[in-house]
Amino acid sequence: MSKKDNGAAVILAYLNEKNRPYSAQDVFCNLQKQHGLGKTAVVKAMELLALEGKIKEKAYGKQKIYFADQSQFQDVKEADLKAIDCHISELSAELQSLTQSCRQLDAELKELSSSLTTEEMVSEIKELKAECSGYTARLEKIKSATNHVTPKEKEKVYKERDVYVKEWKKRKRLASDMINAILEGYPKSKKEFLDEVGVETDEDCKVVVPST
């Protein structure tokens, strides 16, 4: 059988199997990958099959549609069609149910995949117990220490800190006012003045005045 005849046979078998209307472009797209048929060959083969009466052709404007010769198929009774429709509905419902089940199983699989294995859980529990033991030992050491700071001593320290911070802010403000007053008649920049007199600012030392 020649390549041309073989292509026509493939197309004829395809149309009879699918038993639905196709354009030449549709048949070309569906068969080219598997059978290596060119578009021109497909068009000519379908026109020839239609001319020989092996398939049927319908023209819609410039578009031509081809389909299998229905006379070769047995007549289907109305009851059979209803039975087929009923079977299709049942299969569609089953497909929907299976699809939903697959989604649920996929979600469960992802959840299980992200969970720890038994070995990993045992290892993590062991690490947490060791960490708890370390905290417990540290707590006992703190409780048994004799150099605890009393609430009164703690309050005294915080009050002294507040006094020192307030004094720090006060002196910084006074120094800033004095420097600004000098700079009004100083011919150079503030940075040059501070370098010349040897003043280091909080910013130079990278310190920040604490809040009270």
Q: Is residue 158 part of a domain?
A: yes
Instruction: Please give the residue range of the domain that contains residue 32.
Output: 3-72
pLDDT tens figures, 125-158: 999 998 999 999 888 888 787 777 788 888 888 8
Contact 166, 212 (CB under 8 A): yes
Which of 72, 88, 123 corresponds to the end of one domain?
72
Structure confidence at residue 1 (pLDDT): 47
Q: Is residue 96 part of a domain?
A: no
Which of 41, 72, 103 corresponds to the end of one domain?
72
Contact 64, 58 (CB under 8 A): yes
Q: pTM of this prediction? A: 0.40
pLDDT tens figures, 50-109: 999 999 999 988 889 999 998 888 877 888 778 888 888 899 999 999 999 999 988 888
Structure confidence at residue 131 (pLDDT): 92
> Does residue 181 register a pLDDT over 70?
yes
pLDDT tens figures, 149-165: 788 888 888 889 888 88
Q: Is residue 181 part of a domain?
A: yes
Enumerate helices (H) and strands (E) in the chain, giving the number of each. Answer: 7, 2
- In whole angstroms, give the CA distance from residue 179 to residue 201: 12
Domain count, the chain: 2
Q: Count CB atoms within 10 A of the CB of residue 49.
A: 20
Q: Is residue 51 part of a domain?
A: yes
